[in-house]
Copies of this chain bind each other. A is one copy, B any other.
Amino acid sequence: MVVGIERKPWDLFRKSIVKSYRQELWFNVPTRKGFVNITPQVMQCLKESNIIEGLVLINAMHITASVFINDDEPGLHQDLNVWLEKLAPREPVSSYCHNVGEDNADAHMKRQIMGREVVVAATNGKLDLGPWEQIFYGEFDGRREKRVLVKIIGE
């Protein structure tokens, strides 16, 4: 782009170049279903990244789990559980075709409703969340180790 002009090592730009950060969060929810508030862990990732302005992707790495943003209120979580069971019932398992060594078709569907990922803005080094927004890991087929990916891009 700059032709015929000698380039100098101006460090003025240094704070403005692309930075990236990657971290896995591991979970082993002891029950089949559960919601885990992971906002503090994601905040910690952003802090470690030293990224001031950017986008934070938080996604389940498994297809029977979700990452979503909603309220941290136990009554609502119970409501969500009942509601998901109604929209994508686990029983009867025999009603599903996805029974090839597995019995978790309902978990794949619950995850579609709740979503795989959220993207959150990083502003001034902080998660740019609304007043009640909390980030959750949603487990629909637990009792084993599963992961969430946090990837941050910015400056």
A149 on interface, CB distance cutoff 8 Å: yes
A20 and B70 contacting across the interface, CB-CB below 8 Å: no
Contacts of A117 in B (CB 8 A): 118-119
Q: In the complex, which residue of chain B has the Cβ closest to the Cβ of A150?
A: B121
Interface of A is mostly: mixed
A96 and B75 contacting across the interface, CB-CB below 8 Å: yes
Within 8 A of B (CB), among A1-51: 1-2, 5, 7-10, 12-13, 16-18, 20, 22
From B75, B83, B111, B130, A60 is in contact (CB under 8 Å) with B130
A: interface residue count bin: 35 or more
The proximity string for A residues 116-155 relative to B, scoring 1 for CB distances below 8 Å and 0 otherwise, is: 1111110100001111110000000000000101010111
Residues of A within 8 A of B (CB): 1-2, 5, 7-10, 12-13, 16-18, 20, 22, 53-55, 57, 59-63, 68-71, 73-76, 78-80, 83, 87-88, 96-100, 105, 108-109, 111-121, 123, 128-133, 147, 149, 151, 153-155
